[in-house]
């Protein structure tokens, strides 16, 4: 007879390879398609953006050249010396029509202004300037100066050799242009973080740079000359697009941040990983439903095992489950173990219950003897002062305090008695310390029907007096409030002391919850007793603000507080 396959082998052989191959194919194809489409789209967008930016330059400089040519045609047959008013009017009209043109003048070859707009300020020693020398030495070309920045405005100068008086005489045309609007237009172009535009002259000198210039750019531009290339500057990847401006010998290099595509691909990769995880979870769900049909016998075994948790199973009625090899062997072992487990579980429950009672008694017996000694000393002191009334009042309060503390050996007492117990404690401390502090107890609900484990408030009030109000010079306040919050009784003990540092508060919480540490005895005592008796529903929280005060809150389940019985 062929042995049945193990459940693990069945699942791995039939489902796992299919799920793995399917997930791998979907992930690779998805990323590959997205990668290709994203790069194509990004390159297209960069190309369009670069072309638009370059077109803006072309339009502007074509307008500049047209202006230069118009003036050249106008003056070629004009006697500038004898028609000063006419040429001035013409140039002023030209300035009013073209907002980018700020000044226009024609100099003689000796460097004297022979025509200009009305408010033009002539240049001294013009013959020694670059714009004059370049135009005079190369009489067929327009020359552009570097772009200057002055008083918040960008500008450059165009110079050109022109003839006038029926081309019998020559001079140098000087046009000053405002480049600010074009610069502002450049700044609106989205080139990404660190993206910028650099303009070079024919000698690869920087005419203008819209960002931080990197000397390495020049080498890259010289290598490419024209076209586009992916380059790296300062560890950032850029798409560098280079073109020459028409009618000038300037080159424009447009650097567009290319790392946005890397960021997009990274984000998609993260999404793809998350999606892959989701697919794996879905596959796990499919695997679960498929395996459920295969492993029906395990359900019966699970039902038997679930009875173990509540100890309600009957070891004499256990079934022998039929199914896979593992199930059969597990069922046999399970049936053999249940009888022994039943015996051990019952014994363990009895031992744990006894241990809980012992721990609770031990914690309740941790009463600080110093309080008794100090109170007796205070009584003796009052008697010696002949203040018999206060001494009598303190003796009565101490008597009632310990009567409630003992409570005939009971662990559970009415909540009213616990409040009364802490009242006597506060009364004794008030007599001892006089006006150094005051207290108030505010009961907002009817507590007559509720019970609690005893001695949970006095240690917290003692903490508030010793640690919260000890350093205050009078005006100390303690407020006790009893209220409901959802299905819990909420008891708050607040003081107006100096508060607790966050680091110290964390340390208190750690010590309070660690049974191996002995610090914060009062808080730890109350916290552990609450957990032992009421379980996880009960809690103790500390809220503290420096220089404002500290509030300790006890939460007791109402369902448990209605019970007048010891566990």
Structure tokens at 329: 């062997």
Is the torsion defined by CA of 419, 420, 425, 428 positive or negative?
Answer: positive
Residue 420 domain flag: yes
pLDDT one-digit tens code per residue, 309-356: 555 556 666 666 666 666 666 766 766 676 666 666 665 555 455 455
pLDDT for position 489: 94
255 occurs within a structural domain:
no
Of 127, 160, 181, which residue sits at a domain end? 181
pLDDT of 553 over the 80 cut: yes
Higher pLDDT, 318 or 425: 425
With bands split at pLDDT 50, 70 and 90, how would you rate the model's confidence at 146? confident
Please say which residue of 154, 181, 208 terminates a domain: 181
Task: Tell me the C-alpha to C-alpha distance, in Å, between residue 521 and each of 231, 463, 508, 542.
Answer: 68, 10, 10, 15
Picking from 229, 461, 296, 282, the residue whose alpha carbon sits closest to that of residue 368 is 461
Cα-Cα-Cα-Cα dihedral sign, residues 274, 277, 281, 283: positive
| Residue 350 located in a structural domain | no
Would 127 be classed as within a structural domain?
A: yes
Report the candidate in 355, 555, 557, 369 with the shortest Cα–Cα distance to residue 456.
555
Q: What are phi and psi of 231, to 5 degrees?
A: -130, 170
Asked whether 225 and 240 are in contact (CB, 8 A), the reply is no
pLDDT at residue 435, rounded to an integer: 77
The last residue of one of the domains, among 166, 181, 196, is: 181
Do 174 and 120 touch, CB atoms closer than 8 A?
no
Phi first, then psi: what are they for 28, rounded to 5°? -65, -45
Query: How far, in Å, CA of 193 to CA of 207, rounded?
Result: 22
**What confidence tier does 429 reach under pLDDT thresholds 50, 70, 90?**
confident
Q: Kindly report the CA angle at 294 between 288 and 299, in degrees rounded to 5?
A: 80
Instruction: Name every residue whose Cβ is closer than 8 Å to that of residue 324 and which is 6 or more positions away in sequence.
Output: 4, 5, 6, 7, 295, 297
8 Å CB contact between 405 and 421: yes
Highest mean pLDDT (candidates 151-165, 456-470, 546-560): 546-560
The rounded mean pLDDT for the chain is 78
Residue count (the chain): 567
CA atoms within 13 A on the CB side of 522: 16
Q: Could you tell me which residue, 380 or 70, shows the higher pLDDT?
A: 70
What percent of the chain shows pLDDT beyond 90? 10
Q: Which domain holds residue 114?
A: 77-181
Which position has the higher pLDDT, 116 or 362? 116
Backbone angles phi, psi at 108, to 5 degrees: -75, 165
- pLDDT tens for residues 34-44? 777 776 766 67
Per-residue tokens: 304: 């038997």
**Residue 469: pLDDT band by 50, 70, 90 thresholds?**
confident
Query: How buried is 524 (Cβ within 10 angstroms: 0-12 exposed, 13-18 middle, 19+ buried)?
Result: buried
Q: What is the CATH number of the domain that holds 417?
A: 3.30.565.10
Percent over 70 (pLDDT), the chain? 76
* pLDDT exceeds 80 at position 76: yes
Tens digit of each residue's pLDDT (9 = 90 or more) over 147-206: 787 777 888 888 999 988 887 888 899 998 888 877 776 666 667 777 778 888 777 787
Assigned token pair, 403: 């009567």
Which CATH number covers residue 165? 3.30.450.20
5: pLDDT confidence band, cut at 50, 70 and 90? low
DSSP-assigned beta bridge partners for residue 557: 488
Residue 384 lies in a domain: yes
At residue 160's C-alpha, the angle toward residues 155 and 164, to 5°, is 130
Q: Please tell me what DSSP assigns to residue 18.
A: H
Number of separate domains in the chain: 2
In a domain, 451, yes or no: yes
**Residue 410: DSSP 8-state:** -
- 214-257 pLDDT, tens digit per residue, is 778 777 777 776 777 778 887 777 778 887 776 677 788 888 87
158, 73 in Cβ contact below 8 A?
Answer: no
pLDDT bucket at 412, cuts 50 / 70 / 90: confident
Determine the pLDDT at residue 442: 94
**Alpha carbon 306 to chain centroid, angstroms:** 44
The answer to whether 391 touches 383, Cβ cutoff 8 Å, is: yes
Specify whether the CB–CB gap between 177 and 156 falls below 8 A.
yes
Average of per-residue pLDDT across 7-17: 69
Say which DSSP state 253 is in: E
In a domain, 86, yes or no: yes
| pLDDT for 521 | 64
Highest mean pLDDT among 25-39, 348-362, 429-443, 515-529: 429-443
Contact yes or no for 199/147 (Cβ under 8 A): yes
Question: Is residue 16 included in any domain, yes or no?
Answer: no
Task: Report d(CA 487, CA 416) in Å as an integer.
Answer: 19
Q: Is the pLDDT of residue 483 over 90?
A: yes
d(CA 209, CA 214) in angstroms, rounded, equals 10
What does each C-alpha distance from 501 to 179, 478, 498, 517, 524 come to in angstroms?
Answer: 61, 20, 9, 20, 18
563 φ, ψ (degrees, to nearest 5): -95, 130
Q: Tell me, what DSSP letter sits at residue 163?
A: E
Distance CA 377, CA 519 (A): 27
pLDDT, residue 488, reads: 94
Q: Quick one: pLDDT at residue 465?
A: 83
Q: In the numeric block, which tokens belong to residue 434?
A: 């006089």
Query: Which are the contacts of 433, defined by CB distance < 8 A and separation ≥ 6?
Result: 465
Token pair in block for residue 190:
């989205």
């Amino acid at each position: 007879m062929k042995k049945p396959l193990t459940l693990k082998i069945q699942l791995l052989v039939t489902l796992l390879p299919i799920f793995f191959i399917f997930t791998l194919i979907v992930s690779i194809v998805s990323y590959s398609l997205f990668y290709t489409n994203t790069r194509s789209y990004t390159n297209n967008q960069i190309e369009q953006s670069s072309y638009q930016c370059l077109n803006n330059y072309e339009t502007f400089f074509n307008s500049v050249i047209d202006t230069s040519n118009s003036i050249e045609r106008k003056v070629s047959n004009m006697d500038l010396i004898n028609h000063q008013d006419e040429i001035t009017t013409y140039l002023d009209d030209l300035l009013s029509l073209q907002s980018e043109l700020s000044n226009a003048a024609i100099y003689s070859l000796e460097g004297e202004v022979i025509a200009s707009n009305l408010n033009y300020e002539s240049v001294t020693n013009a013959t020694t300037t670059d714009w004059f020398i370049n135009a005079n030495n190369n009489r067929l070309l327009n020359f552009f100066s570097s772009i200057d920045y002055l008083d918040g405005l960008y500008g450059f100068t165009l110079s050109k050799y022109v003839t006038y008086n029926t081309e019998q005489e020559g001079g140098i045309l000087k046009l000053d242009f405002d480049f600010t609007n074009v610069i502002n237009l450049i700044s609106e172009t989205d080139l990404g973080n660190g993206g910028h535009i650099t303009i070079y002259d024919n000698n690869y000198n920087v005419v203008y740079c819209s960002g931080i210039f990197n000397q390495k750019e020049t080498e890259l531009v010289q290598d490419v000359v024209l076209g586009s290339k992916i380059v790296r500057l300062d560890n950032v990847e850029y798409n560098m697009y280079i073109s020459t401006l028409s009618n000038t010998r300037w080159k424009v290099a447009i650097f567009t941040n290319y790392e946005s595509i890397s960021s997009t691909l990274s984000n998609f990769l993260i999404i793809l990983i998350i999606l892959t995880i989701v697919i794996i979870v879905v596959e796990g769900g499919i695997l679960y439903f498929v395996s459920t049909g295969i492993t029906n016998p395990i359900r019966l075994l699970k039902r038997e095992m679930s009875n173990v948790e509540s100890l309600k199973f009957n070891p004499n009625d256990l079934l022998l489950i039929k199914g896979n090899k593992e199930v059969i062997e597990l069922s046999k072992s399970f049936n053999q173990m249940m009888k022994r487990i039943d015996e051990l579980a019952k014994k363990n429950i009895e031992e744990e219950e006894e241990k809980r009672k012992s721990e609770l008694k031990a914690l309740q017996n941790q009463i600080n003897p110093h309080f008794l000694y100090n109170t007796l000393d205070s009584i003796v002191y009052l008697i010696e002062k002949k203040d018999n009334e206060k001494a009598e009042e303190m003796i009565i309060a101490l008597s009632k305090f310990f009567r409630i503390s003992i409570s005939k050996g009971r662990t559970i007492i009415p909540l009213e008695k616990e409040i009364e117990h802490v009242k006597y404690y506060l009364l004794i401390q008030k007599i001892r310390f006089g006006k150094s502090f005051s207290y108030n107890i505010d009961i907002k609900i009817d507590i007559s029907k509720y019970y609690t484990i005893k001695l949970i408030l006095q240690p917290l009030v003692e903490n508030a007096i010793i640690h919260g109000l000890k350093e205050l010079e009078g005006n100390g306040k303690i407020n006790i409030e009893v209220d409901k919050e959802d299905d819990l009784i909420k008891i708050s003990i607040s003081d107006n002391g100096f508060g607790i540092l966050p680091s110290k508060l964390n340390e208190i919480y750690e010590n309070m919850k660690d049974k191996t540490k002995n610090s914060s005895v009062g808080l730890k005592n109350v916290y552990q007793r609450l957990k032992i008796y009421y379980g996880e529903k009960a809690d103790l929280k500390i809220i503290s603000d420096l220089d404002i005060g500290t509030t300790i809150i006890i939460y007791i389940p109402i369902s448990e507080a209605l019970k007048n019985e010891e566990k």
